[in-house]
Structures are given as structure tokens and as C-alpha cells.
Amino acid sequence: MEQIAYINNIPYPYKNGETILNFVKRIEGEKIIPTLCDAPNLEAFGSCRVCSVEVALEKDGKTKTVASCHTPVMANSFIYPNSESIQELRKNIIELVLTDHPMDCLTCEVNGNCELQDVAASVGITEVRYPEGENHLDREKDVSHPYMRSDLSKCINCYRCVRACDEVQGEFVLSMAGRGFDAHIIKGNDESFMDSPCVSCGACSQACPTSAISDIFQSKSIQATEKTRTVCTYCGVGCNLDVSTKNGKVLSIQAPYDAEVNQGHTCIKGRYAFKFYDHPDRLRSPMIKRNGEFEEVSWEEAYDYITDKFKYYKEEFGPDSLAGISSSRCTNEENYLMQKFYRAVIQTNNIDGCARVCHSPTALGMQRTFGTGAATNSIKDLKHTNCIMVIGANPTSGHPVTGAKMKQFAMKQDNISIVIDPRKTELARHATYHLPVRPGTNVAVLNIMMYYIVSEGLVDESFIQNRTEGFEEFKKELLQINLQELEEIIGVSKEKVREAAIAYATAPNAMSFHGLGVTEHSQGTFTVMQIADLALMTGNIGRKGVGVNPLRGQNNVQGSADMGVQPHQGAGYLDITKPEINKKYNEFYGVQVPSHIGYKIPEMFDAALEGKLKAIWIIGEDVVQTDPNTQKVIKALNNTDLVIVQELFMTETAKQADVILPGASFLEKSGTFTNGERRVQRVNQVVEPIAGTKPDRQIIVDMMNKMGYTQPDYTAEGALKEVSEIVPFFAGITWENLGENGKQWPVAPDGTDTKILHTKEFKRGKGYFEFNDFKESNEIVQNGKEYPYILTTNRDLEHYNCGAMTRRTGNVEVHTTDKLWLNPKDAQEHGISDGDFVCVESPRGKVDIKAWITEGVKPGILSTTFHFPEIMVNNITSDEHCSEAMCPEYKVVSVRIRKSKGKQKMIAESK
């Protein structure tokens, strides 16, 4: 039965549980009731009372004044949102607020965009009747931080910042101290933004209605002439961003509240780390290296130079003497064009991308078990699950908006969270179970988990029966594992593993998330298959709140593989070796494309060292800094006749180039990115490309035409149309129908998208069980004796991969260098103190890194990041890689350590 309530004596239907505020706003419009402490992404709070309304139980009956933001509508009640007495009440409240608020509006940074000003005007205040009271002008402004600012003289104690920090980011940095007139916001233990544990997500700044908390970009106050919605360039979460511009310059970035992905939230990189885009270091002209020096040349000269050489190598040494690396930082359309260039124009399948060094084992492992290599569910399923298993991922740094949601999940009573990670990550600190396994032993710990689930009869028999194959054989092998031996290998008690396994298997809905701690190993693909097996045996597939969910890395790494940036599958994951597929591509591209598998990235470098690779074109990937074994990569590039690097900056790789082509960043182009939940979203050009640069797609299209292949000029609509004609799961995607929030593939021709995969059957028919036993990494077998420590490498919140972009923003002031996590026991043994440089040596070489002494790693385990070229940690990582997918084993490096003498001496000398 429809429920009715009255607004000003007119009846309207309301939704069950709807607050009076939302009800009245929905019927009468946004501005009808003023609010101060309310915000779209926060729970109702009911403290400022500005949103008060009168409610009576019968017409013209006795009314009661209630805060509309947190009072639900009652059936048949009579609501008077703007009665005379309510208007008087609101005016009084605001006047009181204003008495201790400084009246320096004209010189205030948010003048014209201040919510307090708006509300004051809307309740009809023209002057304050009370004498100006005491105010808080003695409160010092906090300018300690490169981004965050506070001026608490402007604070009206609405708690929005405190609630944003708690409810949105889950950081609990802000709180209220003191009472009455002295009540004030503090950060951490009453310290500055810089000294507090603030993660600079800016949620508080976006939430603050005045300028009490803001940021250096004055994001709220900006008198922008234009706002453009686009998608973040950093990680695979795919946050939507509202970018404000004036006179063609980016002023600030805010997060739209109506974005399905990020609901008004984003992180320090998305919101604040954009100033790389017009940094003086941007490459601004094509260049050719002559006699060891780069010379600026025209685009025509660069194109002709490359075209002549490409034609010559192709003719003389065959198409397979050329190779390309495409960029997951670029759009789908650009990646599609780049693989098309290699397949249709050069006629080689030598095309690969950063997924190789990242989640290639995920794609392969999930294809083997399910048939599709992408996340099965959506991030919003965190609302529908009872248990999360996070293995080898550190989302509060790598995927901060998702990480914040997971942290909120883990902090709720009754929710189960299992974190499998050698380090005590932020999520591990909140987890129900943290299993700190030795790096490289995932296969062992997952086999123990599955052993207990099977032997204790916790499997989902009917799911196994109806939806899977291979279980009997699998079970036979699984039950033969040696628990004692494996327990020793992982370094965690099997009892604890058993408890976690039971928690996962008995949860009504359990969802797994995994990252590079799973994939970047010699047994990476097998581990992914085990995670998929765990879901299969417990029936955690095909509905809300379950599934296998890789936290994909780059903003568009999902998309670049979807578009065919892989040497064995073309656009749409079609197997290039199959004759019928080859025919399909031949017809579509109008030329003969090759049907033998091309080089993966490590094979490109091997071919270069053997003299077989003549030319390589690398777009947006700093392989020298980020691929393993740096010195080998440099040798390989030096041994390649023509190295073309298309970049924003003079990276370590660009320095090795023969030709440099200056590309354009995400703010300067249109297209689409696909996030980690298969969501294809529109990237809209915000500003013109920096003078001298070209959008990457333009460069590729120009090169196609120069090489004699007719490719029409680029439009976002046109390119997407071509993609949708060849990639089956893009069939129903058009630029138009993507709308603001995108669509999750597969998208049927009628435009219907897919939130959850494998609901009825798997792409390959039945889910496939395959048992794999633990095998010690070669790195440890061969080098473990001489190099007894294990170093694992990962990332920090503030910097992004090679750091070319984030090191050119204020982030570098927040986080200044890579640091080495070192257990106190190990530190003591080597006489190392916090901040000392430590020489970390592997069979490949040595690097000096600053020590950070912490219980976050066990004795014998070290951890660091790879964001700073001065450190260049990949000088010491190895060539070991996943046996199936060739993803490098960045996560297990055998090393020895000592206090670094050289570095200290250098520092002493420079004083």
C-alpha cells in the first residue's frame, strides 16, 4: 500500500524510511530547506538544527519541531517546512553561529562559495542583531602541509570534516576537543596536518561548508569558468573527477557525489596530484638523438625518420624484428590503435603492455578456471558480503577509495576479514585474521586452507556437482599434502590458517580480492587458479557479494588487454592462432595479419640482446625503472637499433631513446578507460594539449598513414565504434550511451551491461579444478644461502609506479623517498638505526635505501618501493618469472644487508 504524508497540506507518496529532508527536497526542490551539518555522502547528524521543520499528526494539529535530516517521514503526518516560527528559528540559529564567526567575508577565500553565506542569505539575514561576540581570530592557520590548510577561526563546529574523515576515509584523524566556546577541531593528537596521520584525501576539505578546512587549490572557492567530468589517470579504481578550469588552465579537482565508483571521494593522487600536467619538465618537442645528444626536430622529420627505418627493418629482417609496448595509462582507443598498428601495419604480434609485469597471471589463471580473466563482481558488492579475503594486496595504498571501503567493512562487528600478506598492512591491522606468510608461499597457504575446507566437509556439494569439473582428481591430490611441512614453509600456524579457512567457507557470502602479492611470483598463475578454486568449492560465484576480484593496477590496464595489447590474443581476447579468428581479423583490418604468437616483454629484451630485435616503440612505460633487472633492460635497449619513446617526461627509459615523441596526458584528450570492475567510462578532454605535444592517438594514426595504411582521423565516437565492431563484449557500447557512470562489460547489443559474471554458467562452460603443489622459487633455491634475507617490493600511497608524475607534484613533499622496512631484531644485529642507509645487495647488484625500523615485517623479511630513480631498486630484482604468464617475480628477491658506509660518507662530505 502506498504511504502518504502531507507537505503544506498537500498529500504526496513517500518512500519507506525516507527522511523528511529527502522527502521534501524530492518534492519541492533542493533548496527548499537550508542545511549546514548535512552533506550528500555523510550519515545524517542532526546537530545544527537549521533544517528543522514543523510536523503535526493531524491537519492544523499541534506541531513539533524536528531536525528533518534525521527524522523519518511518518504516515499521514503534516509537514510544514517553512512556517513562520521555523523561519524565525533558523534565523536565530544562524545569527548565533555568526556571532563568533569573523565577518571578513569580502577577503575570505570562499567568498561567494561559502555555504554559511548561502544559508544566511536564504534565511533572510541581512545584518546580525547581536553585538559581535568573541571570535576565534587567535586560532593559528595551519600551513604545514603541501596541500591541506586549516583556519579554525572560520569553524562553525558542524562536524562535517570529522564525519568525512571517519565515515568516508575511515582515518579518524580529526576530532573535537574542548567544550562550549572553546570547542575546536584537532588533528591527531592536536598537531599540524603534516605531523598528523592525515592521508591527504581531501574529504574534509570537500565537506567543510566554510573555509575552516581547505586546500592550497582552494578547491571550493574556485571561480571556475568551466567544469569537466573525467576519470582519474592513476589506479584501476577509476574515480570520476570534476576538474575546474579557467582560461584553459586546471585550477582544482573535486569528486562528484553522484559518481557510482567513488561517491564524492577520491585520494591524494586523484584530487591533488595533477600539477605534473603543465610542469616545466614536460617534453615539448619531438627529438632525435644524434652523436649522443637529443636534438629537437619537427613532427614531420621525426615521422619520416621512423617510417624509413621501420620500412627498412621490415623489408630486411621481417616484421618480427619490430616490437611495441603500449601504455595502460592511455585510453582504450589508443591501445586499440597501437595493437592495430603492429598487427595490421607492421604485421607482427610483437605487442605487449604493462599487464605482463602486473596481472598477466590473473588474466591467464582466471581464463583457465572460468574462461574469462576479469573481476567477477563489482566493488559495491562490499555492501552485500559477510567476509572478505584480501590476499597480496594493500588497497589502502594502491586502491585508496576501495581500500577505505574495505577498512570500513573490516571495522564493523560481525564482518569477517582475512588478510594474507607478509607485512602488517593497514588493513591487516583491522583484520579478523592476518596470516603473515613468508613471501613466495601463497600456493602452500591456499592448499592448507583448501585442505581443511575439503576435509571438514565445508564444500558446496551441489555447486561442485552442477557447475564444475575435475574436483575428484583435485581432491585426491589435495588431501595428500604434508601439512607440517607446509606450515613450516609459510611460517604461520596451521591452526590459524584453518580458522581463516573455516571463516571463509562458512560465511553466507565471501568475496576475495587479490593483488600483486599473488601474481608477481614464479607460481603466480597457479595462485590465481587456487583463489578461483576456493570460490568454486564453496559456491562463492555468480551472485552479489561473492566472487574473485583482482584489484587491477593501472587506470586502464583492464582496457589495454581488452583491446588486444597482448602477443597471443587480439582485440577482444580472440586467439590469433585460430584460422577462423585470423580470417576475421584479416577481413576487418583489410590486410593479412600474422597468426603466430609474438614476443612478451621479457622475450622482446631477450631478442634484443640476441640482436634479433631492430626497433621498439614504447608508449608511456618506464621499463628501465620498472622492469626487473635494470641493467639488463638498459643493455637490451642499447642493443636495439631504434628505440622510440613516447612520453610526458624524460624518464630513465626516455634517456635511452633514439627518438622521443611528446605525448599528451589524460587531461588533454578524450576516449575511454576501463576500470578494475570492467567499467568502461568516458575520459573527457579538459584542456588543450600542451604546446608541442600531440595526443597519443594522433601520433599513432599519423604513423599508420605514413606507413601506408589508411586510418581515418580520430574522434572518440568513431574509434569506439570501430572497437565495438570487433570486440564482442563491447557490442552495445557507444560514446553516447556510456553516460556519466559508464557501463560494465559485456555490454549486449541493446546496451544492457553486466554487474556480475558467471551467474548461470562459465565462459568455458564448467569451472575447472586443477591442483598445483608448492614449489620453492628458484631465486631462493639458488641464492638463498648467500643472500639470506627476502626483499619484497610494493608501493606507497603518495607515489605512483615510476613516479614520473607524482614526483612532479606536492606529493613529493609528503613522501620524500623509498624506504626499507626492517624488523628491529635485524636492525640491531647489523647496527642499523632508523634513517640510516642500508646497502641491500642481490646477485644482480646493490642499492642504498633509508631504513625504517618496524614490527610490520618479521625478522628476515624486508620491503621497499620502486618510486625513486635515485634508488632504482630494480637494479637488484631478478629475471625469475611466473612459469605460465612470464610476470616477473618482484615479490621475492634474495638479498643480504649491511649498514651502508658509502652513502653516509657521501652525506658527511656534502655537509
Ligand X SMILES: Nc1nc2c(c(=O)[nH]1)N[C@H]1C(S)=C(S)[C@@H](COP(=O)(O)OP(=O)(O)OC[C@H]3O[C@@H](n4cnc5c(=O)[nH]c(N)nc54)[C@H](O)[C@@H]3O)O[C@H]1N2
Q: Which residues bind ligand X (CB under 6 A)?
A: 235, 327, 329-330, 354, 357-358, 391-394, 397-399, 420-423, 425, 437, 439-440, 442, 515-517, 520, 551, 553-554, 619-622, 626, 646-649, 651, 663, 665-666, 696, 792-795, 797, 799-802, 804-805, 863, 866, 873-874, 877, 890-891
- Amino acid letter, 177: A
Question: Given the complex with ligand X, which of 108 and 563 has the nearer CB atom?
Answer: 563
Neighbouring residues of 902: CB distance < 8 A, sequence distance ≥ 6: 839, 848
239 secondary structure, DSSP code: -
* 490: nearest Cα among 412, 537, 437, 440: 437
Smallest distance from ligand X to CB 696, Å = 5
The x, y and z cell numbers of residue 530, run together, are: 587456487
Rg (CA), the chain: 29
CB 87 within 8 A of CB 123: yes
For residue 683, the SS3 value is strand
Smallest distance from ligand X to CB 861, Å = 9
H or E element: which one contains 506?
A: helix 494-506
Judged by beta carbon distances under 5 to 8 A according to partner kind, the member of ligand X, Mo ion, none in contact with residue 270 is none
Question: Given the complex with ligand X, which of 787 and 890 has the nearer CB atom?
Answer: 890
Smallest distance from ligand X to CB 65, Å = 48
Smallest distance from Mo ion to CB 427, Å = 19
Smallest distance from ligand X to CB 240, Å = 17
Question: Given the complex with Mo ion, which of 46 and 676 has the nearer CB atom?
Answer: 676
Smallest distance from ligand X to CB 740, Å = 22
Smallest distance from Mo ion to CB 738, Å = 24
* 746: nearest Cα among 723, 730, 762: 730
Neighbouring residues of 693: CB distance < 8 A, sequence distance ≥ 6: 282, 283, 284, 662, 663, 664, 668
Sign of CA dihedral 837, 838, 839, 842: negative
Question: Given the complex with ligand X, which of 516 and 634 has the nearer CB atom?
Answer: 516
Judged by beta carbon distances under 5 to 8 A according to partner kind, the member of ligand X, Mo ion, none in contact with residue 640 is none
Judged by beta carbon distances under 5 to 8 A according to partner kind, the member of ligand X, Mo ion, none in contact with residue 348 is none
**CA pair distance 414, 410, nearest whole angstrom:** 9
Q: What is the CB neighbour count within 10 angstroms for residue 847?
A: 25
Smallest distance from ligand X to CB 858, Å = 11
Neighbouring residues of 887: CB distance < 8 A, sequence distance ≥ 6: 356, 357, 358, 359, 360, 361, 519, 520, 521, 524, 881
Smallest distance from ligand X to CB 217, Å = 20
Judged by beta carbon distances under 5 to 8 A according to partner kind, the member of Mo ion, ligand X, none in contact with residue 768 is none
Smallest distance from Mo ion to CB 236, Å = 8
For residue 68, the SS3 value is helix
Q: In the block, which residue shows the cell 596470516?
A: 435
Smallest distance from ligand X to CB 315, Å = 28
Judged by beta carbon distances under 5 to 8 A according to partner kind, the member of ligand X, Mo ion, none in contact with residue 746 is none
Question: Given the complex with ligand X, which of 34 and 146 has the nearer CB atom?
Answer: 146
C-alpha torsion 279→280→285→291, nearest 10: -130
**CA pair distance 141, 150, nearest whole angstrom:** 6
DSSP 23-34: HHHHHH-GGGS-
Judged by beta carbon distances under 5 to 8 A according to partner kind, the member of Mo ion, ligand X, none in contact with residue 524 is none
The x, y and z cell numbers of residue 801, run together, are: 609506479
Judged by beta carbon distances under 5 to 8 A according to partner kind, the member of ligand X, Mo ion, none in contact with residue 119 is none
Question: Given the complex with ligand X, which of 377 and 441 has the nearer CB atom?
Answer: 441
Question: Given the complex with Mo ion, which of 252 and 675 has the nearer CB atom?
Answer: 675
Judged by beta carbon distances under 5 to 8 A according to partner kind, the member of Mo ion, ligand X, none in contact with residue 607 is none
Q: What is the CB neighbour count within 10 angstroms for residue 590?
A: 10
Judged by beta carbon distances under 5 to 8 A according to partner kind, the member of Mo ion, ligand X, none in contact with residue 668 is none
Judged by beta carbon distances under 5 to 8 A according to partner kind, the member of Mo ion, ligand X, none in contact with residue 391 is ligand X
- Beta strand 468-469 with 351-353 is unpaired
**CA pair distance 136, 151, nearest whole angstrom:** 10
HEC per residue, 257-304: CCCCCCCCCCCHHHHHCCCCCCCCCCCCCCEEEECCEEEECCHHHHHH
Judged by beta carbon distances under 5 to 8 A according to partner kind, the member of Mo ion, ligand X, none in contact with residue 849 is none
Smallest distance from Mo ion to CB 657, Å = 22
Judged by beta carbon distances under 5 to 8 A according to partner kind, the member of ligand X, Mo ion, none in contact with residue 523 is none
Q: In the block, which residue shows the cell 562559495?
A: 113
* Backbone φ and ψ of 353, nearest 5°: -150, -175
Distance of CA 847 to the CA centre of its chain: 28
Judged by beta carbon distances under 5 to 8 A according to partner kind, the member of Mo ion, ligand X, none in contact with residue 423 is ligand X
**CA pair distance 150, 195, nearest whole angstrom:** 14
Q: What is the CB neighbour count within 10 angstroms for residue 73?
A: 25
Question: Given the complex with ligand X, which of 283 and 537 has the nearer CB atom?
Answer: 283
Q: Which residue is nearest to Mo ion (CB)?
A: 553
C-alpha separations of 227 from 148, 671, 687 in Å: 22, 18, 11
Question: Given the complex with ligand X, which of 25 and 807 has the nearer CB atom?
Answer: 807
Binding positions for Mo ion, rule: CB under 5 A: 358, 553
Smallest distance from ligand X to CB 364, Å = 15
Judged by beta carbon distances under 5 to 8 A according to partner kind, the member of Mo ion, ligand X, none in contact with residue 428 is none
**CA pair distance 714, 634, nearest whole angstrom:** 34
First-to-last CA distance in the chain? 80
* Backbone φ and ψ of 90, nearest 5°: -60, -40
Distance of CA 32 to the CA centre of its chain: 38
Orientation angle between helical segments 630-638 and 601-609, nearest 10 degrees: 60
Question: Given the complex with ligand X, which of 81 and 676 has the nearer CB atom?
Answer: 676
Q: Which residues of 192-231 are buried (b: 16+ CB within 10 A; e: fewer)?
A: bbbebebbbbbbbbbbbbbbbbbbebbbbbbebeeebbbb
CB 608 within 8 A of CB 325: no
Question: Given the complex with Mo ion, which of 236 and 264 has the nearer CB atom?
Answer: 236
Question: Given the complex with ligand X, which of 276 and 310 has the nearer CB atom?
Answer: 276
Smallest distance from ligand X to CB 330, Å = 5
CB 408 within 8 A of CB 397: no
Judged by beta carbon distances under 5 to 8 A according to partner kind, the member of Mo ion, ligand X, none in contact with residue 439 is ligand X
Question: Given the complex with Mo ion, which of 560 and 724 has the nearer CB atom?
Answer: 560
Question: Given the complex with Mo ion, which of 403 and 553 has the nearer CB atom?
Answer: 553
Question: Given the complex with ligand X, which of 395 and 572 has the nearer CB atom?
Answer: 395
Question: Given the complex with ligand X, which of 696 and 880 has the nearer CB atom?
Answer: 696
Smallest distance from ligand X to CB 648, Å = 4
Smallest distance from ligand X to CB 704, Å = 17
Smallest distance from ligand X to CB 12, Å = 46
Judged by beta carbon distances under 5 to 8 A according to partner kind, the member of ligand X, Mo ion, none in contact with residue 515 is ligand X
Judged by beta carbon distances under 5 to 8 A according to partner kind, the member of Mo ion, ligand X, none in contact with residue 873 is ligand X
H or E element: which one contains 481?
A: none
**CA pair distance 639, 838, nearest whole angstrom:** 33
Question: Given the complex with ligand X, which of 108 and 297 has the nearer CB atom?
Answer: 297
